């Protein structure tokens, strides 16, 4: 039953949670997961320097965070070699996406994305009355040319692409993405989500041109930096657009301790090298486990691997449900044909040992349930 005080738009929206958290699943099962390898968190954690900085800052949590994010903004700008005026910071890419949609999308405006791509972006578009227009993946990759063509056709306000991609882990080269930027139609803005870029091969990210009016780029401390629970992300874009975030953002929405941790983290790039090495080992182990069970994997430039279960989405769902029942938290894409896969995050040796033990049983159960 809807509350009559809601706006007509709010009343029309489903009460949806884009991702059901592992905690909710643990509560439902009455026990914790043996392996939490479904949310693309970094089990390898943040830089020890970031942990120490946050621990030291905790006694000052009575203070509000700096509403200008001054020190962190300056450090991020220095790291990328761009002016601070080209950096906006907020509590995760999800928050930045919501603010961007609020700033640019009015009721009925068209927004283009890929069918099956990151669903929280779609959630924001619906919440502000935009009309989502989708194009299919091409060979398990988002399709830059098709996205641009559709945007021109429908006069889209925003075009969303993640590179590397979530949920498939695939990626495009910097040259491909630069051609996409160059082809953005007049009046459109490309939203380039680079949440996993620190884990991608060299040559994945195009050069930064912060005043390029056709693109805004999103980065996060949630993945390679191992600070998903701290909620820190930033956008890189033209100064005029970045300044507009101040019109709608919650100026005291950032966590002070998280600001301080992120400042220490970006100054410790040796830790990111360490995480990359650990992720590579884990990705290789996941591929070996898949091969041992007659499954293939998609090449990945992220901290997760998509396992092709070799049949349809219903079969993959049965595999996933059996893994969940066996205490292994994993997820899967929601749209066909991507949903023939399950998605497994890079884990510790113990995590992946538990997954290796559970997967044969899950495949057997899925075959029996056909």
- CATH number of the domain that 97 lies in? 3.40.640.10
pLDDT in tens, 223-251: 999 999 999 999 999 999 999 999 999 99
- The last residue of one of the domains, among 218, 248, 267, is 267
Which residue, 112, 133, 124, is CA-closest to 180?
112
Q: Considering its fold, how many domains does the chain have in total?
A: 2
Angle (deg, nearest 10), helices 174-182 and 144-154: 10
Residues 28 and 68 in one domain: no
Helix or strand or coil: residue 307? strand
| pLDDT band, residue 19 (cuts 50/70/90) | confident
Within a domain: 198: yes
pLDDT (0 to 100) of residue 103: 98
Residue recorded with tokens 């830089």: 47
Q: 219 and 255 share a domain?
A: yes
Q: What percent of the chain has pLDDT over 70?
A: 99
Nearest C-alpha neighbor of 358 from the set 303, 307, 314, 298: 307
pLDDT at 370 over 70: no
Same domain as 208, residue 147:
yes
Pair 27, 79 in one domain: no
**Same domain assignment for residues 105 and 231:** yes
Q: What whole-number percentage of the chain has pLDDT above 90?
A: 96
In a domain, 97, yes or no: yes
Q: What's the first-to-final CA gap in the chain, in angstroms?
A: 37
Question: Is residue 351 domain-resident?
Answer: yes
Position 1 scores a pLDDT of 55
Query: Has residue 18 got a pLDDT over 80?
Result: no
pLDDT tens digits, residue range 316-367? Answer: 999 999 999 999 999 999 999 999 999 999 999 999 999 999 999 999 999 9
Same domain, residue pair 216 and 350: no
Q: Which of 78, 90, 37, 89 is nearest to 269 (CA)?
A: 78
In terms of Cα–Cα distance, which of 333, 327, 326, 324 is closest to 304?
333
Distance CA 190, CA 364 (A): 44
Residue 262 and residue 248 share a domain = yes
Domain assignment present for 10: no
Task: Assess whether 81 and 167 both reside in one domain.
Answer: yes
Phi, psi at residue 368, to the nearest 5°?
Answer: -70, -30
DSSP state of 355: H
The domain boundary residue, chosen from 231, 247, 267:
267
Range of the domain at 296: 19-45+270-368
**Domain-ending residue, one of 267, 290, 320:** 267
Of 270, 253, 254, residue with least CA distance to 262: 254
Please check whether residue 182 lies inside any domain of the structure: yes
The helix/strand count (H/E) of the chain reads as 13, 12
Residue 172 has pLDDT above 70, yes or no: yes
Q: Is residue 13 situated within a structural domain?
A: no
Q: What sign for the dihedral angle of Cα 132, 136, 138, 139?
A: positive
Q: pLDDT per residue over 128-140, tens digit each?
A: 999 999 999 999 9
Q: How many residues belong to the chain?
A: 370
One domain, residues 125 and 106: yes
Report DSSP letters for 34-99, one per residue.
SEE-SS---TT-S-HHHHHHHHHHGGGTTSPP-TT-HHHHHHHHHHHTS-GGGEEEESSHHHHHHH
Q: Domain for residue 141, yes or no?
A: yes
What distance separates the 2 farthest-apart alpha carbons in the chain? 59
Residue 114 counted as domain residue:
yes
Work out the angle at residue 126's Cα, subtended by the Cα atoms of residues 125 and 131, and round it to the nearest 5 degrees.
75
| Cβ neighbours for 23, distance < 8 A, ≥ 6 positions apart | none
The CATH number assigned to the domain holding 332 equals: 3.90.1150.10
Based on the domain organization, do 324 and 253 belong to the same domain? no
pLDDT-based confidence at 369, cuts 50/70/90? Answer: confident
- Rounded to whole angstroms, how far apart are CA atoms 167 and 334? 9
CA atoms of 330 and 309, how far apart (whole Å)? 14
Indicate if 136 and 252 belong to the same structural domain. Answer: yes
> Are 120 and 175 in a shared domain?
yes
Residues with Cβ within 8 Å of residue 215, at least 6 apart in sequence: 181, 184, 189, 190, 191, 192, 237
Phi, psi values for residue 311, rounded to 5°: -130, -145
């Amino acid at each position: 039953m809807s509350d009559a005080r809601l706006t007509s738009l709010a009343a029309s929206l489903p009460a949806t949670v884009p991702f059901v958290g592992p905690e909710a699943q643990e509560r439902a099962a009455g026990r914790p997961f043996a392996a939490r390898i479904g949310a693309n968190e970094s089990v390898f954690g943040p830089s020890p320097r970031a942990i120490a900085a946050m621990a030291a800052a905790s006694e000052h949590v009575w203070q509000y965070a700096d509403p200008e994010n001054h020190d962190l903004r300056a450090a991020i700008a220095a790291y990328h070699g761009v002016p601070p005026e080209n950096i906006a910071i907020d509590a995760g890419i999800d928050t930045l996406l919501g603010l961007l949609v609020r700033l640019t999308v009015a009721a009925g405006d068209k927004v283009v994305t890929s069918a099956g791509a990151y669903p929280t972006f779609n959630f924001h578009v619906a919440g502000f009355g935009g009309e989502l227009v989708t194009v299919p993946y091409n060979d398990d990759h988002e399709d830059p040319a098709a996205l641009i063509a559709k945007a021109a056709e429908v006069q889209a306000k925003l075009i969303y692409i993640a590179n590397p991609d979530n949920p498939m882990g695939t990626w495009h080269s910097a040259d491909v993405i630069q051609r996409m930027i160059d082809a953005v139609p007049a009046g459109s803005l490309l939203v380039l989500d680079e949440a996993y870029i620190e884990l991608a091969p060299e040559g994945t990210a195009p050069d930064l041109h912060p005043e390029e009016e056709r693109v805004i780029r999103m980065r996060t401390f949630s993945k390679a930096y191992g600070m998903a629970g701290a909620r820190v992300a930033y956008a890189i874009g033209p100064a005029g657009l970045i300044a507009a975030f101040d019109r709608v953002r919650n100026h005291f929405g950032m966590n002070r301790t998280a600001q301080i941790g992120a400042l220490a983290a970006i100054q410790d790039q040796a830790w990111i090298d360490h995480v990359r090495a650990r992720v590579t080992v884990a990705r290789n182990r996941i591929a070996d486990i898949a091969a041992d069970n007659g499954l293939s994997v998609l090449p990945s430039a992220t901290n997760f691997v998509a396992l092709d279960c070799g049949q349809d989405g219903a079969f993959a769902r049965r595999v996933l449900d059996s893994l969940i029942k066996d205490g292994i938290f994993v997820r899967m894409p929601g749209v066909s044909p991507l949903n023939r896969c399950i998605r497994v995050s890079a884990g510790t040796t113990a995590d992946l040992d538990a997954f290796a033990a559970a997967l044969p049983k899950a495949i057997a159960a899925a075959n029996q349930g056909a």
